[in-house]
Structure 1
């Protein structure tokens, strides 16, 4: 029941679409619902369709069964208000009305027929035979019950529907399945335990045990396994030896199955004197010595009698045959045996001579000699009863270091007799195996800044030979890299193959090494093999970023002046930092550490450009303090900071709104700097030219002259590479960006190689040292020479 509505509603979720048609029509919905449906389950009836709009649209209401279902008047969803039980309620029939709110109202009806589907939720209940205590029933039947007689009948009931209540009966456990049978449909049993299964899904079951007591009568005579036994006995069998163990069986029980054994009256006295019969066990043993030449065959009859009230008996015939015995063992004699032998011994070489003999005659005196199979040897008969042991396959001490050879001689008697002799053949080692490394290529990663003498790896080889043929010595195969021998960089322990570093490596100078290690045994002649070793120097974040722009003449504070009328988005300053670590560790990001007004300036974290976020107002202080930190991507991260003090000045000069928008082929100077350069440049021009010529002549190798177009600022180098923008692509790009930034302040940028030759020291000095400025400019060219000693930026003027 939904509160607040004029009509009771019920809901049911169905899997098909129901369409209400017309007014006054009546459609029927048939819906199957499992009795396992939980309370509150939602079922779907498709919403009734009304082409009208507004107040003429439909409403849905049910006319009955509001105690069982509720309905949502908006979408027609039905909800179960209770759980269902097929055994109590099997179906429901009610109506649902869809009515619009027009005037007059129009409606449509549908009949909902819900059928509760049975679930197999009731297990069979065994009602017969009656079990007063537990599930065990005892039944007694006479021993003489005829075949097919009913022992018991099990009846089980299941309250589920027809399909789920179809019951079948099965044995769950039976002592002897050959004694009883069970009808799977009517439950008639001839067993002691049964299992009943209904036909539901999932199947459910009930169990009952029936104990049947059978009263025995002495109606079975003892029987032997055979009616005639033929037994062969050796002539020298000792007294007391067992000849045969007779075992008569009686199917009766108790005293009716107890059996005693005795000789028949027809058994001869000779037989009874020679053999003894145990009356309790039926064992026949030798009582007197046997002689094949005196008496070869003994016949006897044995009777087995039970101890029942009316004793019954059975009998069997036994024929004992005395056989001549092969009572002499063959003999074997090792005449010669060569050990040890070299593993390189040739095939067909004789290593032993063996003789055999047997004192018996006939087949008992014929002997055969053999050795174990799957050995690299064979026997070759040389003369009567003499054999040679020869090598049949190549020998390998590394696979089998020694052979235990057993010579077995067997006669052809019945039963055959045999003898054996065991010898051990030891193999001597030959240096026929080269040392073997586990891998053919080793990649070893070494962290830079390692301590000299650090163990890098253990390159141990294996040689399966023995003694001196196995003793290995390790060498570094000499190879020079940049006039440096590998033995000056690495050391290997000649005894165990431990590889050590002899120096501290610097990733920024040397990144990898490739050489070979040789392992050589001490055999004669010595054998060797080598392995390739690839040493990779792994970079550490051991170089902090160095801020090279803006130039800081004293300390880490830079003072800049910008017009107060600077537009929004104008470039105020560009921070450039360099990091000589590897690509990963040298990725630099820029952040404000301190800023006077965070709403006034923005900092690009990747290129270090500081721009205005808005125009200055009269409320903004004239002095702004910006602290920028440049942080690399290493672990842990290293950083450097620079403090920029900005002062705003009232000037009519228009500030460049975006330095990156001006072509890099032109220098950017303020009017003030231009005047200073013109004044100072004329004085120092000749001095600067003299210094440059002197340095180039002393420190640079002669090379073909490079013709360059007239330019204001250029750098002479060996690369002859031109950078056309200020993107931070490489060290050259950093250099160019620095050059561009510093020339704004009329400074000369100097780049010098570090002592190791692969790093640079970047410095900036005022242009007043000797530059002369003239009007006009040509495209700016940046060229970097890594091998130049100090390299300067020259200013060329028209």
Structure 2
């Protein structure tokens, strides 16, 4: 056993040959029966590949449907024995015996053919199917009579196969070997000394078969010879070699050929029987021979497994004499195999921007039939942007041949069909499903080129106004649209203080409550951006139209309503019908029908005397004024807009029917004292006057202190000769006038360091046909005139003017 191990170690030397017929092909030679994990060769070095490339390319061995005996160690870049290889089980008597496989790589796809030749070692001894054989020989057998012996079988090849035989003892018989066309030897036992049944009826011989291996191995068979009486003629075949043909897939029981042998003896000694002598061959299990010499098929014939059979046959008479012959059977191929498609590598998906001729699959195609029956052509289904190319013998690549667009087709089912040239032709197909992965090549597109939305004023902040919608033809993250409000301003205010946009849904919300009277419409831009990398976007303009709501009541501008004095319109008693007493002037800041005003007389001291114009608010007499009409006439006019619901305002109009001022004054003085004033009201007025006076004096002191401080600072700057203009508050509010509507006048004051004076102008109020009555005393008019004269004097101090104005207002 040690010698055998030594032999394997000697045969372990590996020869690496680069075959020039196939680019990149590597060949190795190893002995059979190597232990698991034994080194076959450094494939990375022999192919000129980096070990990192083996890892990144996910290198693997592809053997088709054959068993894997070799494995790839990507860490070391070497090929190792995965399973023990028995050359005899793998190849039988076929030489040379080789393992063919491919090493495939990805990213990019590459294929390297590798051939590993399996060399024989002497691991099988010659053997006989039967350990014993009984032979009956007539004692009359002449010297030189031949007896065909069963051949031994040695699965090894070359020197390790069967080389010679020996027979012991050699007293009566010697061995004679005859070389045959297939390289085997026919073994005959030749009689060299006459037999004498009376001396030796039974003889025992040992036939030994020897191979040429080191150490030499052998097998034996015991031959028992029984000596019979005379049978001096042996059977003789008509041919030394018979030839026949049979079509594969022939039915069981088919007669392949008929052999014949004759025996010159008479009687039972001339009866011949036939048998297959090499019963250990695979062919002996597929055929049998009957008594008539017919060779009959017993099992299935497959051209792809064996293309010919050689069968040794023997003719034996009843005396034990025999002759041998050989039948050579050629198997005729039938197109019974379709092409076998094996996917070596494939991609489940590729991006839509893949370049032309990108490899998406590699496959091997094999048809075991012969000649035209084994010639294969492959194609794919039409109307797909792919094509199939033959890279080498029996290997194909599926590549792209036009641009891909996931938005047009996101998945392809590619049918690969391979057909042979047999008659009839056989084909096989395989379907590959390829997903086209998305690339961000489409920007979001809005449903409209621009949008207009309407919202009613006085809305609730956060109200949903409108929804913009954009669609992206891409997929998944690349089609996820986000909406962004672009920075802009509306009337100098950022648009984000007016509206906001939901990033996910595109819903536009109002951030504030809108007032139609302040802003009627505005526009902004919304950007739709996808989630790709880099992101793509598009813009759209959105215009918001604010609709008016009847949220403002009419405001009466004239006559002015005051709480401290009464305004009366005088109507002479000589006034005719249709006399214009006064006109109620009102405005509504709303728009449209919400600002359409109508005037109605709600109540009056004498409804038969006055009427109000529905559209213009003019108060006119509807009859002749007479002496019976009372002096004091009070009218209440309702001003109503046309909104839904409508809003209104009321105004009281005092009319004096008199021809002289004293008459009017006495009447309205009594009216005021009787109706409007009481002791409590007087108390409250005095208290309010005291509080306002205190606040005014305090403010005056603060203002004077600030002015003195700034004056000192300006003097310091002035003496320092620096061109500095001190800053003064830009807005001062002075409220003048009577009535319910306040007017704010803003004065911009700019003074230099050399300024010492400022001129202030005040507008003089003017009134026509209006009486202003002070209900507190009858001397009110004279006091008001004196105060007005003081205010009109150009040189009067500003402080005094302000005090007098405030006092007049409080009065």
Normalised TM-score (structure 2):
0.39
Please state which structure has a larger fraction of its residues in helix: 2
Structure of greater Rg:
2
